[in-house]
Amino acid sequence: MDENHVGLLGAKSLVGECLLSLMTESQWQVMAFSRQTRKSEAVGIEWRSIVPLSNPHTEVGDKIEHWICVAPIWVLPDYFDLLAAYGAQRVVALSSTSRFTKDDSTDLEEQATALRLADAEARVREWAESRGVEWVILRPTLIYGLGRDKNISEIIRFIRRFGFFPLFGKAKGLRQPVHAADVAGACLAALQAPCAANRAYNISGGETLTYRDMVGRVFTALDRRTRLLTVPLWAFHLMVTVLRRLPRYRQWSTAMAERMSRDLVFEHKEAENDLGFSPRPFLLESQDLPE
């Protein structure tokens, strides 16, 4: 296969969907791996079932030197043998700035997530460097878009259901929401930029705003009057305890409220210089709203 071919892990994810659209527009030939096979719906995309290789010496026939993983980075080590079998020469993997922002969380599950991200990044670097494979790790901030994310879309659904949104304290912590399409663009740029080899980049949105203002933008996008309910931490904890009985809010925690007053801001100057990264401001469009 020529240099215009790329292997994609996590093709059905939010960023994966954006990547497929971007790569087909740019005339890349994509081999999209998924746990469930499906018929290709676009020119240039071939779907293949993904399973970890039981034998690291398995012959796969094709050669794919360029790879992007937008599945959770901690699943990538399960497929190191697969990438080696295809002759991978550069791997772009999507991590998260949560490895820094949740490492001291009061929620043990969030701490575990941060450790899992850091461990996975280390394993990717070690594996790649041991085989002479170039690696690039991208760490986005809060991803949103297409009504499929687990951040802004959940705020939208809450507002639609209850007509208000709860805030702990002044909720003045700074945020930089980044659109999934901009993350996808950064992945593709990282795949091609020579200077990005063996580098990790934090990538954030094009606008910095407080958590309170971010939620206010959601009300505006929904064409609703902003209704923010400021509650003490004990009341937030009680509300979360009740909400977590519903599957949709199972991931909510008191730590989420505590972070509303923390600045979670990351510079993306290096990504701007090396990858041409130029993210959009936080403006929700109709296609970014869940159905």
Residues forming a β-bridge with 44:
none
State which residues form the domain around 105. Answer: 5-288
Q: How many CA atoms lie within 13 A of 61 on its CB side?
A: 0
CB 222 within 8 A of CB 289: yes
- pLDDT tens figures, 173-210: 999 999 999 999 999 999 999 999 999 999 999 999 99
pTM of the model: 0.91
Q: Average the pLDDT over each of 52-66, 73-87, 212-226 and give the range with the smallest value.
A: 52-66
Give the 3-state secondary structure of 16-35: HHHHHHHHHHCCCEEEEEEC
Give the 3-state secondary structure of 240-279: HHHHCCCHHHCCCCHHHHHHCCCCCCCCCHHHHHHHCCCC
CB 18 within 8 A of CB 183: yes
pLDDT band at 30 (very low <50, low <70, confident <90, very high): very high
Collapsed DSSP state (helix, strand, coil) of residue 94: strand
- pLDDT tens figures, 65-107: 999 999 999 999 999 999 999 999 999 999 999 999 998 888 7
* Count of domains observed in the chain: 1
CATH number of the structural domain spanning residue 112: 3.40.50.720
- Name the percent of the chain lying above pLDDT 70: 93
Report the alpha-carbon distance of residue 6 to residue 242 in Å, rounded. Answer: 45
How many C-beta neighbours within 10 Å does residue 192 have? 13
